[in-house]
Amino acid sequence: MAATQEEIVSGLAEIVNEIAGIPTEDVQLEKSFTDDLDVDSLSMVEVVVAAEERFGVKIPDDDVKNLKTVGDATEYILKHQS
């Protein structure tokens, strides 16, 4: 079963909360991982690995740099999930 946009955002919120300690309600589509959510480049790798496992997607390193916001990541996962 593919996840809905809503499920992906709430899943990412839980991941970001675990890794960066940001409250889940602050993790919204327009938020930038680095500027708004305290996710630096190393922590972004953790977010990506956790998202891959949770949503059954592969996110190659070259694509990670394009995932600036929660919306970017949500869209990517929606498009690529199996």
Partner 1 sequence: MNATNDSVVVTGIGATTPLGGDSASTWEGLVAGRSGAALLNEEWAADMPVRIAARAAVEPGEIIPRPQARRLDRSAQFALIAAREAWADAGFSARAGEDASVNPDRLGAVVASGIGGVTTLLDQYDVLREKGVRRVSPHTVPMLMPNGPSANVGLEVNARAGVHTPVSACASGSEAVGYAIEMIRTGRADIVVAGGTEAAIHPLPIAAFGNMMAMSKNNEDPQGASRPFDVDRNGFVLGEGAGVIVLESAEHARRRGARIYAEAVGQGISADSHDIVQPEPSGNGIAHALQNLASRTDLDPAEIMHINAHATSTPQGDLAELKALRKVFGDDVEHMGISATKSMTGHLLGGAGGVETVATLLALHHRTAPPSINIDNLDPEADGDIVRDTARELPGEGRIAALNNSFGFGGHNVVLAFRTM
Residue 61 interacts with partner 1 (CB under 8 A)?
A: no
Single out the residue of 26, 38, 72, 75 in contact with partner 1 (rule: CB under 8 A).
38
What is the DSSP track for 50-61? Answer: HHHHHHT----H
Q: How far is the CB of 59 from partner 1 (least distance, A)?
A: 11
Residues 7 and 55 sit within 8 Å (Cβ to Cβ): no
Interaction with partner 1 in 15-34: which residues (CB under 8 A)?
Answer: 19-21
CA dihedral for 6, 73, 27, 68, sign (positive or negative): negative
Residue 52 interacts with partner 1 (CB under 8 A)?
A: yes
Outline where DSSP puts E strands in 1-82: none
List contacts with partner 1 (CB under 8 A). Answer: 19-21, 38, 42-43, 45-46, 49, 52
